[in-house]
Structure 1
Amino acid sequence: MNSVPGKRIVVTGATGNVGTSVVRALAQDPDVTSVLALARRRPELSVPGVEWESVDLSRPDSVGALTGLTRGADAVVHLAWRFQPTHDPVVTWQSNVLGSRRVFEAVATAGVPALVHASSVGAYSPGPKEEPGVDEAWPTDGWPDAAYCREKAYLERCLDWFELRHPQTRVVRMRPGFLFKEAAASEQRRIFAGRYAPGPLLRLDLLPFVPDVEGLRFQVLHTDDAAQAFRLAALHEVSGAFNLAADPVIDAERLAELLDGRVVRMPRALARTSLAAAWRVHLVPASPHLFDAVLRLPILDCSRAESTLGWSPAHTAGEALNAFLRGVRGGGGDDTAPLAGKRWG
């Protein structure tokens, strides 16, 4: 696996959880001479070697700007994604699906030789919850009732079509588990728990038990480790899909160890009903449909990323979750609009 020095990389969604880590990882690589970071809102964040441009992928007329911005790039890393509003999936579809298709069109028109796309474990069809997990050949039909999974799965089909039409373009699909870092914790609290969730009150001694819901078994990864995988995929002649996750798999017992709490069995129907009621009255933005999907996500086998990319995570799953908890309680953030740190409100 050889890389060519002097590469120019364009990154979409560069101000978010993954984007801020990816642009920093690329800027620190000696084989990269230029990083162009694209976002809807130009940030205050300054990273040596990184230039910023503003572009709104949800706008139908953004293709021309994208084509000009990506022309001459050696690779485009596409990370842009909108999680809300969960009550209006048309809005997220326009941004995530149609916006991604505009990126793909710009890559083809500009003749960019490589496209690295941020897919997700959420693109996978329901599967086994036990190790060693599913490899990258597992079906990617998602869970159709959840907008996030539906959109990720649809874009997998779009990339199938793209590869048939543009075989000269190297396409990589990254499929990570849940991604956490301290600087993204405030954003993730707002996305999943709501703007007014009391971050400072998320203290271990205030969590008397950990609910054990059937199927609640998932994988996580520190965002900086995922960024290294994206960097390797952008710079080296690899293609296809890569699962990304860290050990160990997280379940109720692992969470209880991490939080020094005790496990209490909770019926799936009770957990879902409670979440659905809160979501319907807009108390929380996380939808019950996404909860349904999480309970069905398969466990991932990440051996291809290790053998082909030469990648392995530097942080355990527990360390990634601890970083998230520190950030939630401390109002962790970064100098971008999505990652603005705030303890309350």
Structure 2
Amino acid sequence: MRVLITGAAGFIGRQLLDDLAQRHPDWTLVAADIRPLAQQGLKPNIESVSLDISQAREVDACVQRWKPEAIVHLASVVNPPRGMSDAHLHAIDVGGTRAVIDAALAHGVNQLIVTSSGAAYGYYPENAEWIDEQHPLRGHELFAYARHKREVELLLADARKRSPQLRQLVLRPGTILGERVNNQITDLFEKRSVLGIKGHDSRFVFIWDQDVVDIIRVGLERNSAGIYNLAGDGALSMAEIAGILGKPYRPLPAGLLRGALALLKPLGLTQYGPEQLDFLRYRPVLDNRRLKEEFGYRPRYSSREAFLAFLKARGIAAQA
């Protein structure tokens, strides 16, 4: 089989490449990314390709040249670099997905696997206690990542109606943890105290990075289709996280925190802005029942166990 992987130089992309190359040496893996992929250590069944996902003609030419049976679309911007415009960000996240769908349909691709996000459900006070895959996708107008993931899912839903012959496996991960992960969320846990918002539990669901890789691989092997939340069992509140870290938990009034972030971010004193207030207080807490019962995959770690494994990899002793 020939598989095209976009975002192949990314955190999950590189792990997926290594896993597939080892387990399926008879597959051809087309590793596409705008960033150069280090050639050292690449297995002989990996073809490294330069691809700007925001350029539809490039995407179409790539799919036409390699004629993959399956595409794994991982390319996305989680943490935009300073100075990246909203238009450029949208062109990568949403325009890139549109280009991948169009090219897949134009050139007879059989299966499309897309990593969406639990963020597509949005951050709202009326979110269900546990969100399943039937929950409406509302994104968030002030939070570009969530807004874009909703747009991506609308494109995918439209393609399923128009072209059901393209099998879609859509994955909605919660917060991904791993031995080497580092992002805005993990930065929250490295402060001297753990901040929260008064009156809100701010529960997190975690999924281990190798579980995400395994689920994508199994999806390819089985030619699977469907929509699945990716999360370990259970959830951890910010207060529980603080207890595990042995750090003070400081819940602040929402208005005070919003005002502080509005002042500090323009000065470059924090990476968080007031638009991320809802991100913290109205967390979408993902139900993983369908992943276990319908897809047939049980994550190796619960949310709590994933967090403990994350700390262990950093040499941090859990306190509770």
Shorter-chain TM band: 0.7 to 0.9
Distance in 2 separating the partners of 1:281 and 1:327 = 33
Matching residue's letter, 2:76:
W
Match of residue 211 from structure 1 = 195
How many angstroms does 1:128 deviate by? 3.6
Pick one of 49, 52, 70 that aligns with 2:48. Answer: 52
| Corresponding position of 2:22 | 28
Moved more, 13-22 or 211-220: 211-220
Q: Which residue of 1 is the match for residue 90 of structure 2?
A: 93
TM-score by length of 2: 0.85
The equivalent position to 1:13 in structure 2, one of 3, 7, 13, is 7
Which residue does 1:336 correspond to in 2?
A: none
**What CA distance in whole angstroms lies between the structure 1 residues aligned with 2:295 and 2:241?**
30
Q: Structure 1 residues 156, 283: CA separation in 2 closer, same or farther (over 3 Å shift)?
A: same
1:35-46 residue pairs with structure 2 within 5 A?
A: 35-44=29-38, 46=41
Instruction: Tell me if structure 1 keeps the 8 A contact 2:119–2:284.
Output: no
1:3-39 Cα offsets, whole Å, 9 max, x none, are xxxx222111111122122222322334862221111
Deviation digits for residues 218-262 of structure 1 (CA, Å, limit 9, x no counterpart) = 211111111111112222243221001113312123212320123
**Structure 2 CA distance for partners of 1:51 and 1:184, relative to 1, 3 Å:** farther
2:74 paired residue number? 79
Is the contact between residue 70 and residue 112 of structure 1 (CA under 8 Å) also seen in structure 2? no
- State the secondary structure of the residue aligned to 1:99: helix
CA displacement, residues 84-120 of structure 1 (integer Å, 9 cap, x when unaligned) = 1477322210111111111111111111100011110
Unaligned runs of 5+ in 2: none
Change in CA separation of 1:272 and 1:77 when aligned onto 2, cut-off 3 Å = same
Aligned position for 2:109: 112
Task: Give yes or no for contact 2:121–2:284 (8 Å, CA) kept in 1.
Answer: yes
Q: How does 1:135-214 map to 2 (within 5 A)?
A: 135-185=132-182, 188=183, 202=190, 207=192, 209-213=193-197, 214=200
Within the candidate set 219, 227, 237, 1:251 is matched to: 237
Q: State the SS of the aligned residue for 1:84.
A: coil
CA–CA distance in structure 2, aligned partners of residues 276 and 192 of structure 1: 21
Distance 1:41 1:50, change over 3 A: same
2:282 is aligned with 1:296: yes
Number of the residue aligned with 1:265: 251
> Residue deviations 1:97-154, cap 9 Å, x none?
1111111111111111000111100001435463xx1211110121222111110001
Which of 196, 214, 230 in structure 2 is aligned with 1:228?
A: 214
CA RMSD in angstroms comes to 2.8
TM-superposed deviation, 1:279: 2.2
The superposition leaves residues 146-194 of structure 1 with CA deviations (integer Å, 9 ceiling, x where unpaired) of 1111100011111111112211110111000011222232xx26x986x
Identity %: 28
Does structure 1 conserve the Cα–Cα contact (< 8 Å) formed by 2:201 and 2:239? no
Letter in 1 for 2:106: T
SS in 2 for 1:10: strand
Question: Counterpart in 2 of 1:308?
Answer: 294
User: SS of 2:139's equivalent?
Assistant: coil
**CA distance 1:324–1:66, shift in 2 (3 Å):** farther
| Aligned pairs (5 A) from 1:297-336 | 297-322=283-308, 324=310
Bigger RCO (CA 8 Å, 6+ sep): 1
| CA–CA distance in structure 1, aligned partners of residues 82 and 262 of structure 2 | 12
1:328 Cα deviation from its structure 2 partner: 7.2
Taking a change above 3 Å as real, the CA distance of residues 310 and 36 of structure 1, as seen in their structure-2 partners, is same
